[in-house]
Amino acid sequence: MIDVYVRSNGTIAYFDVYEAGTQNKVGRSGTTEYPELQYITVDNLTKPADVFDFKVVKLVRGQEEIQVCLDRCNIECEQDPYNGCIEECNLGCYSTANNENRTAFLEFDYIHDGAINATFSNGLVVYGQSTINNPYFKLWNSSNDFSAS
């Protein structure tokens, strides 16, 4: 079992889970539209493993993707209102959301291979993008904060 807090860049996407360095698919996330905690069951491993590769897959669903973006506009403009917020955000939804050439990007706040405990978890997440040679990394629980901010 892998648990992960994931959010997208406004695209609708999911990710496949592979044994590291192989084409052996061992799991799949749920579809990500809003920031959420997901639990992924891993099976069909060829050997015990604690390192996996993720492949982000974009789902282009035209009007549905636009609606997700419009809903997000309403929430964001309520939280940080300014004059013209809704109009500006909605215009952006129609110009970028329904675009088959737009690259999907998922951001992972933490990845953990056991159930998340409310009092303890330590780890390091290293990830990369296919077009960038240097890996990125994130540490979690340096402050015992399990929020997804």
Span 7-22, pLDDT tens digits: 877 677 889 999 999 9
Q: How far apart are the first and last CA of the chain?
A: 23
Residue 68 to residues 72, 75, 91, 110: CA-CA distances in angstroms?
6, 11, 13, 24
Q: Which two tokens stand for residue 79?
A: 């939280």
Q: What is the pLDDT of residues 57-106, one digit of tens each?
A: 887 666 777 787 788 888 888 888 888 888 888 887 776 555 666 677 78
Residue 73, helix vs strand vs coil: helix
Q: Which two tokens stand for residue 100?
A: 């088959």
What is the length of the chain? 149
Question: Would you state the pLDDT for residue 137?
Answer: 58
Question: For residues 69 and 94, what is the distance between their CA atoms, to the nearest angstrom?
Answer: 9
Residue 28 has pLDDT above 90, yes or no: yes
Question: Would you state the pLDDT for residue 34?
Answer: 73
Element (H, E) at 27: strand 25-28
Contacts of 103 (CB under 8 A, 6+ apart): 11, 58
Contacts of 95 (CB under 8 A, 6+ apart): none
Residue 146 has pLDDT above 70, yes or no: no
Percent of the chain with pLDDT over 70: 64
Question: Would you state the pLDDT for residue 148?
Answer: 38
Residue with tokens 């952006």: 92
Residue 116 has pLDDT above 50, yes or no: no
Question: Would you state the pLDDT for residue 102?
Answer: 66
Question: For residues 130 and 34, what is the distance between their CA atoms, to the nearest angstrom?
Answer: 23
> Is-above-0.85 flag for pTM?
no
In one-letter notation, the amino acid at residue 137 is F
Residue 128 has pLDDT above 50, yes or no: yes
